Amino acid sequence: MVYELAIIGAGAVGALLAREASRAGLKVLVLEAEADVASGSSKANSAIVHGGYAEGPETLKGRLCAQGRARFPELERELGFGFRPIGSLVLARDLPEDRARLEALLARGLANGLRDLRIVEGPELRELEPAASPEYGLALYCAGAGICSPWDLAIAALEAAIGRGAELELRRPVEAVRRIPSGEAPGGGFWELEAGGFAYRALAVANAAGLGAEGLDRLAGLEPPRTGARNGQYIVLDRGTGGLVGHVLFQLPGPLGKGILVTPTYQGNLLVGPDAKELEAAEDPAAMLGSDAERLGRIFESARRVVPSLSLERAIRSFTGLRCAAEDGDFHVGEAEPERAPGWFHALGIQSPGLTASPAIASLLAGQAAAYLGRGPSAAGPGLEEDAPRRPLPPHLSRRPERLPPEAAKAAAALPPGECERLVCRCEQVREREIAECLDREPRCATLDGIKRRSRAGMGSCQGQFCRPRVIEFAQRQLGRELDGRERLRDLEALAAAGRPVARLSGPELRKLGRELEGRG
Ligand SMILES: Cc1cc2nc3c(=O)[nH]c(=O)nc-3n(C[C@H](O)[C@H](O)[C@H](O)COP(=O)(O)OP(=O)(O)OC[C@H]3O[C@@H](n4cnc5c(N)ncnc54)[C@H](O)[C@@H]3O)c2cc1C
């Protein structure tokens, strides 16, 4: 079997591309290295749908960010993954140099075609965001920027793509790439990809492998721009704390990124972070994803300057995300080197705002791949056949679900296994039947993390202490087999037992850190 388009990587870019390309009628295969989709940068980021003013139209990043953001309201209607345009504010002091920097951002945004951008100050700013420190007298306000559920974007896009016949193969790390000449194929040949002991053939390949993309380009015989990893740490507060602020609050951007932000999440938590640190190529990947108290302390102090009432009393955990940045800082999207590798497309260096830009990156790649395959240059553009309406998600996944009163919750948690109303997760109030619904949808998942992302079981304040055994027991009963990735769980436990740095700071550790920094330790 020869697929028309093989996509490597099931992050936001690969997933949206799979949807666009399958809507254009292409026979699509997605190969993902991990045991679940959205396992790279797309699962651990700030989840902001950026305004599109941080980079100008002279960069591909600037153009694709603005175009991508414009697609989110329509994508939310079509896929229902979770997007709310709550607006963003870049806060600045009322000083001439800060005003000049805000005006430069405003000018860039206008050049990118944005029309919902303006500078606000004084009482208007206070009214818009009462929680912001009065130290900040000015802000760039972007009304249409917002927050989303990033992994749900990838999951929903793949659900739609699979509904149109796209195939997804998990645990298929592409390890070898060959070009096979063929007079009948467009470009004079096709590609063979070796992944997880299997070989797959495709007329065209889209390399959307995030941090793995540069290496794959090299396997295909190309000389792509160098890329490097940069990590960023975060603090998450419990569900219900998101109301502390009404907007995504940024500080003025610095050389390594958009700075520490304070924002509600789509699910109603409060998110604080990230910082940014470039990593050496030789650095241990486990350490790249770890958190440390020193950096988290600096993040908290920086965020507290913006929101003085911020406290870590309801912090539940830290996490770390890894960005992939090209040496020139821009995105590289399209057919990589048509002469040397016809039909090899890539999305390289997709750092922030890659999530925002992902719908535009996907459209660009789908259009180019369709043209390469002789399906016409606009075959994959927006305006193709509508997808069938998405099967509704369980109601507890909505942002403000009805919560059971304490007595009813206690009774539901005490129900015997097999009762569909039994509470598996007390903090997020997830029932057996809701986990069953999550397991019964494409893209299928059989990992603890995948169930957590789809159902929210384990996302609450106890961080899985109560629900982890219940989830494992129920999911294994439902699937009739062991969950995937249990080995990794055991590895992490072994790592912790051996005294190596644990990947995260827990809620109690963060609360202690907060008290120390507030001088109440
Ligand atoms: C700390 C941080 C904060 C961010 N905040 C924002 C934000 O607020 N807004 C925003 O717009 N963007 C943000 N971003 C950027 C955004 O998260 C990324 O640009 C986006 O998720 C990239 O998606 P992707 O699909 O290109 O890559 P990924 O999500 O990394 O997906 C790549 C996939 O390829 C797979 N893969 C890798 N190698 C192979 C292989 N050999 N074979 C098969 N599969 C392979 C990986 O397992 C992974 O699933 C942030 C990023 C970080 C890290």
Token output for 218: 């090299």
**What's this model's pTM, rounded to 2 decimal places?**
0.95
**8, 17, 37, 41: residue to mutate for ligand 1 pocket, most atoms within 8 A of CB:** 41
Q: For residue 200, list its beta bridge partners.
A: 193
Residue ranges in the chain modelled with pLDDT below 70: 255-257, 281-287, 376-385, 394-401, 486-503, 520-521
Considering the candidates 50, 332, 346, 396, report the single residue annotated as catalytic: 50
- From CA 147, how far away is CA 94, in angstroms rounded? 27
Which residue has the CA at smallest separation from atom 14 of ligand 1? 352
Token output for 84: 């709310």
Cα 516 from chain centroid (whole Å): 32
pLDDT of residue 488: 59
Q: Please give the full DSSP string across 188-236, using - where no structure is assigned.
A: GEEEEEEETTEEEEEEEEEE--GGGHHHHHHHTT--PPPEEEEEEEEEE
Q: Are 265 and 343 in contact (CB under 8 A)?
A: no
Token output for 138: 């000015």
Q: Are 362 and 79 in contact (CB under 8 A)?
A: no
Q: Which domains does the chain have, with CATH numbers?
A: 2-42+151-226+329-372 (3.50.50.60), 85-147+228-326 (3.30.9.10), 395-484 (1.10.10)
Q: Are 138 and 125 in contact (CB under 8 A)?
A: yes
Which residue has the CA at smallest separation from atom 2 of ligand 1? 45
- From CA 272, how far away is CA 475, in angstroms rounded? 32
Measured CA to CA in angstroms, residue 249 lies from 142, 263, 426 at distances of 11, 6, 31
Encode burial over 423-453: b for 16+ CB neighbours within 10 A, e otherwise. bbbbbbbbbbebbbbbbebbbebbbbbbbbb
pLDDT of residue 463: 87
Distance from Cα 181 to the centre of ligand 1, integer Å: 32
Counting atoms of ligand 1 from 1, which one is nearest the CA of 13?
A: 25
**42, 61, 158: residue to mutate for ligand 1 pocket, most atoms within 8 A of CB:** 42
Compute the CA torsion angle 440, 446, 448, 449 (nearest 10 deg).
Answer: -90
Distance from Cα 331 to the centre of ligand 1, integer Å: 13
Distance from Cα 326 to the centre of ligand 1, integer Å: 13
pLDDT of residue 253: 83
Distance from Cα 298 to the centre of ligand 1, integer Å: 25
Q: CB within 8 A of 30, min separation 6: which ones?
A: 6, 7, 9, 10, 14, 15, 18, 158, 161, 166, 167, 168, 169
Q: Residues lining ligand 1, CB < 6 A? A: 8-14, 31-34, 39-42, 45-48, 50, 173-174, 208-210, 212, 216, 232, 274, 321-323, 347, 350-356
Type of residue numbered 432: E
Distance from Cα 195 to the centre of ligand 1, integer Å: 20
Which residue has the CA at smallest separation from atom 26 of ligand 1? 210
Counting atoms of ligand 1 from 1, which one is nearest the CA of 65?
A: 11
pLDDT of residue 382: 45
Counting atoms of ligand 1 from 1, which one is nearest the CA of 353?
A: 11
Counting atoms of ligand 1 from 1, which one is nearest the CA of 216?
A: 41
Distance from Cα 132 to the centre of ligand 1, integer Å: 30
Counting atoms of ligand 1 from 1, which one is nearest the CA of 261?
A: 8
Distance from Cα 42 to the centre of ligand 1, integer Å: 4
| 3-class state of residue 106 by DSSP | helix
Neighbours of 83 (CB within 10 A): 21
Counting atoms of ligand 1 from 1, which one is nearest the CA of 347?
A: 26
**45, 247, 279, 358: residue to mutate for ligand 1 pocket, most atoms within 8 A of CB:** 45
Counting atoms of ligand 1 from 1, which one is nearest the CA of 12?
A: 25
Which residue has the CA at smallest separation from atom 38 of ligand 1? 212
Distance from Cα 356 to the centre of ligand 1, integer Å: 11
Q: Is residue 50 annotated as a catalytic residue, yes or no?
A: yes
Question: What backbone phi and psi angles, to 5 degrees, belong to 69?
Answer: -60, -40
Counting atoms of ligand 1 from 1, which one is nearest the CA of 212?
A: 38
Token output for 384: 């193709």
Q: Are 380 and 31 in contact (CB under 8 A)?
A: no
Q: In a 10 Å sphere around its CB, with 0-12 CB exposed, 13-18 middle and 19+ buried, how is residue 386 labelled?
A: exposed
Token output for 370: 């369709």
pLDDT of residue 390: 80
Q: What does DSSP assign to residue 244? A: G
Which residue has the CA at smallest separation from atom 48 of ligand 1? 40
- What stretch of H or E contains 32? none
Pairing of strands 270-273, 88-92: unpaired
Pairing of strands 261-264, 198-207: unpaired
**214, 355, 365: residue to mutate for ligand 1 pocket, most atoms within 8 A of CB:** 355
Positive or negative, the CA dihedral 181, 183, 187, 192 is negative
Distance from Cα 481 to the centre of ligand 1, integer Å: 30
Type of residue numbered 344: W
Distance from Cα 40 to the centre of ligand 1, integer Å: 5
Which residue has the CA at smallest separation from atom 35 of ligand 1? 9
Which residue has the CA at smallest separation from atom 33 of ligand 1? 9
Measured CA to CA in angstroms, residue 437 lies from 122, 396, 422, 444 at distances of 49, 12, 14, 11
Encode burial over 217-241: b for 16+ CB neighbours within 10 A, e otherwise. bebbebebeebbbbbbbbbbbbbeb
